[in-house]
């Protein structure tokens, strides 16, 4: 059996899922990685490559997997000062180490793991200390003397200016002592992991006792008794362990079967009531009060943002959101609706200046600014104000008059059981305005938009494709703000205004 470091980390998070991946891979056919998951992997690879600049004399093992083990030994016999992606195997376990640097004073190897994160993680499944302890075990059992272990992660304070300064971009953290402390426990886990993978399949899985958000795609396979709309879908039910576990232990899976609804409070109670009555729960007074402060023209606004582990644009740091597009629908008091939009198509010069300048033209200086989950838009405005100080008063004023439409739903002023306890616009829109759908669009989700923008600004992308992507991006963002307009209009009809 081949057990990689990724397998080990997955085991510490969910052993059943790892067992299924090894023994029933057919369950995962069709469960493709999302654009977001693909980007995380890609960012990890890019960070790994970038960190090699810190070790100018390194030798890179180009091969991937077990076939790289023998060539690694051949390279080691030449005493290289630094080795990237050296491959090692011990028993069933396999490791390909990001960086090995020989320490001539201590007479052994320093092992570094490159992480595309802004700090050291010490929680499963991304436990950097355990990750290193696993690697160190395999390396030492393969005959290497490991004298030091550490993580190379991104420096969250770094801001790009011109060429990348790799020494400033990365931070090296020595974890030698922590890894030594963790080693024994990790080695016990490695033994348990081997035993577990050789066992018969375990019945069910632990997510039976977790809310829907924690579950992976195999939940239905392991727990076929749980219906599609279950107690697992109740708002943040994973946090109410006593009540939730009691239902599961007594075989209560549907909301109709709940025999102690008086124990439900707040958002959970509202969702339950809406489900049982089959009608939305509407707090007219609270919605009226929330809308009372709105001033026309109502400006429905949305940014799309891009981020990357290795900063690509001046003024931005690792994973900092770069607003590359906006859509603005303006609803006037007489009911007329205008639309304005902007998309950065060429990443040149002062990247976001033209975007801000267009915002100044497109926004009315009066009226409320409406967004969904306003902290995202207001944080982008803060960042743009920091970059373009001449426009700071305008951008900060937008934040001062910003209203979060999502709060009507997150504060349970309007609850429909079909939202399944979520206030995401992707859950609310299909219930309240089903005729407005993303399904016909070339881009249907935020992570796709990010991937498409990256493709559009790439030099090698043909102009025709760039134009097509630009159209898709504009259509996607436009629907985001139109969705807010139509949800607002729906709520106005509910209020009878
Ligand atoms: S549903 Fe949860 S416990 Fe079950 S296999 Fe997936 S992640 Fe693991």
**Domain edges within the chain:** 3-198, 207-263, 286-495
How far away, in angstroms, is 16 Cα from ligand 1 center?
6
Count CA atoms closer than 13 A to 493's CA, side-chain side.
8
Residue partners of 380: CB distance under 8 A and separation at least 6: 303, 305, 321, 323
- The residue to mutate among 125, 207, 209, having the most atoms of ligand 1 within 8 angstroms of its beta carbon, is 207
pLDDT tens profile 9-65: 999 999 999 999 999 999 987 677 777 788 888 899 999 999 999 999 899 999 999
Which residue minimizes the CA distance to atom 5 of ligand 1?
Answer: 17
Q: Which atom of ligand 1 is nearest to the CA of 20?
A: 5
Using pLDDT thresholds of 50, 70 and 90, give the confidence band for residue 394: very high
How many CB atoms neighbour CB 64 within 10 A? 10
What six digits make up the tokens of 197? Answer: 């993978």
User: For residue 124, what pLDDT is reported?
Assistant: 87
Q: Which token pair is 145?
A: 């003397």
Rounded to the nearest whole angstrom, what is the distance from the C-alpha of residue 214 to the centroid of ligand 1? 8
Total-model pTM:
0.91
CATH of domain 286-495: 3.30.420
In sequence order, what are the residues at sequence separation of 6 or more whose Cβ sits closer than 8 angstroms to the Cβ of residue 45?
A: none
Question: Residue 214 CA: which ligand 1 atom is closest?
Answer: 2
Ligand 1 pocket by Cβ (under 6 Å): 14, 16-17, 205-207, 215-216, 218-219, 222
**Probe residue for ligand 1, chosen from 205, 209, 210, 220 as the CB with the greatest number of ligand atoms within 8 Å:** 205
Per-residue pLDDT at 37: 81
Report how far ligand 1's centroid is from the alpha carbon of 15 (Å). Answer: 8
Ligand 1 pocket test, candidate residues 17, 25, 238, 248, most atoms within 8 A of CB:
17
Residues 6+ apart with CB under 8 A from 70: none
Q: How far, in Å, is the centroid of ligand 1 from the Cα of 131? A: 21
C-alpha to C-alpha distances, 80 to 60, 105, 239, nearest whole angstrom: 10, 15, 52
Atom of ligand 1 nearest to the CA of 16: 5
Return left, alpha or beta for 269; rule: phi > 0 is left, psi -120 to 50 is alpha, else beta. Answer: alpha
Residue 55: count other Cβ atoms within 10 Å of its Cβ: 17
**Beta strands 369-371 and 298-306, pairing class:** parallel
Kindly tell me if the per-residue pLDDT of 176 is higher than 90.
yes
- Ligand 1 atom with the shortest distance to the CA of 14: 8
- For the chain, report the end-to-end CA distance as a whole number of angstroms: 67
Q: How many other β-carbons are positioned within 10 Å of the β-carbon of residue 448? A: 19
**Mind listing the pLDDT tens digit for each residue in 216-234?**
999 999 999 999 999 999 9
CATH architecture of 3-198: Alpha-Beta Complex (3.90)
Q: From the CA of 212, how far away is ligand 1's center (Å)?
A: 10
DSSP 323: E
> In terms of Cα–Cα distance, which of 425, 451, 477 is closest to 37?
451
């Amino acid at each position: 059996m081949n057990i990689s470091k990724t397998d080990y980390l997955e085991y510490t998070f969910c052993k059943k899922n790892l067992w299924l991946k090894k023994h029933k891979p057919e369950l995962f056919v069709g469960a493709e990685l999302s654009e977001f998951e693909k980007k995380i992997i890609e960012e990890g690879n890019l960070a790994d490559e970038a960190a090699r600049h810190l070790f100018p004399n390194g030798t890179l093992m180009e091969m991937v997997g077990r076939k790289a083990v023998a060539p690694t030994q051949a390279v080691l016999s030449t005493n290289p000062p630094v080795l990237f992606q050296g491959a090692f195997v011990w028993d069933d376990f396999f490791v390909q180490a990001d960086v090995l640097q020989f320490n001539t004073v201590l007479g052994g190897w320093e092992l570094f793991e490159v992480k595309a994160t802004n700090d050291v993680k010490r929680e499963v499944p991304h436990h950097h200390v355990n990750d290193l302890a696993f690697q160190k075990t395999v390396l030492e059992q393969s005959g290497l003397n490991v004298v030091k272990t550490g993580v190379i992660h991104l420096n969250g304070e770094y801001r790009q200016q011109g060429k990348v300064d790799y020494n400033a971009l990365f931070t090296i953290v020595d974890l030698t002592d922590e890894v030594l402390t963790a080693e024994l426990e990790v080695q016990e886990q490695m033994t348990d992991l081997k035993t577990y993978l050789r066992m018969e399949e375990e019945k069910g899985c632990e997510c039976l006792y977790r809310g829907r958000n924690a579950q992976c795609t195999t939940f239905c396979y392991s727990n076929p008794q749980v219906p599609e709309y279950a107690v697992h879908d109740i708002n943040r039910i994973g946090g109410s362990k006593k009540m939730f576990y009691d239902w599961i232990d007594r075989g209560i899976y549907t909301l109709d079967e709940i025999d102690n609804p008086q124990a439900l409070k707040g958002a959970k109670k509202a969702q339950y009531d809406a489900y049982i009555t089959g009608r939305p729960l509407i707090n007219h007074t609270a919605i009226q009060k929330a809308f009372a402060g709105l001033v026309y023209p109502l400006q429905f606004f949305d940014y799309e943002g891009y981020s990357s582990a290795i900063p690509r644009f001046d003024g931005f740091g690792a994973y900092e959101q770069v607003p590359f597009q906006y859509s603005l629908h303006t609803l006037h008091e007489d009911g007329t609706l205008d639309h304005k939009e902007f998309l950065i198509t060429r990443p040149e010069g002062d990247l976001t200046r033209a975007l801000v300048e267009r915002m100044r033209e497109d926004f009315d200086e009066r009226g409320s600014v409406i967004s969904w989950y306003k902290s995202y838009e207001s944080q982008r405005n803060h960042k743009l104000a920091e970059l373009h100080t001449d426009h700071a008063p305008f951008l900060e004023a937008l934040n001062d008059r910003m209203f979060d439409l999502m709060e009507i739903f997150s504060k349970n002023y309007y609850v429909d059981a079909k939202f399944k306890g979520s206030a995401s616009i992707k859950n609310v829109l299909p219930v309240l305005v089903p005729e407005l759908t993303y399904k016909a669009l070339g881009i249907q989700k935020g992570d796709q938009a990010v991937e498409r923008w990256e493709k559009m600004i790439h030099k090698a992308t043909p102009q025709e494709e760039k134009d097509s992507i630009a159209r898709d991006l504009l259509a996607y963002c436009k629907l985001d703000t139109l969705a807010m307009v139509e949800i607002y209009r729906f709520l106005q009809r509910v209020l009878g205004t």
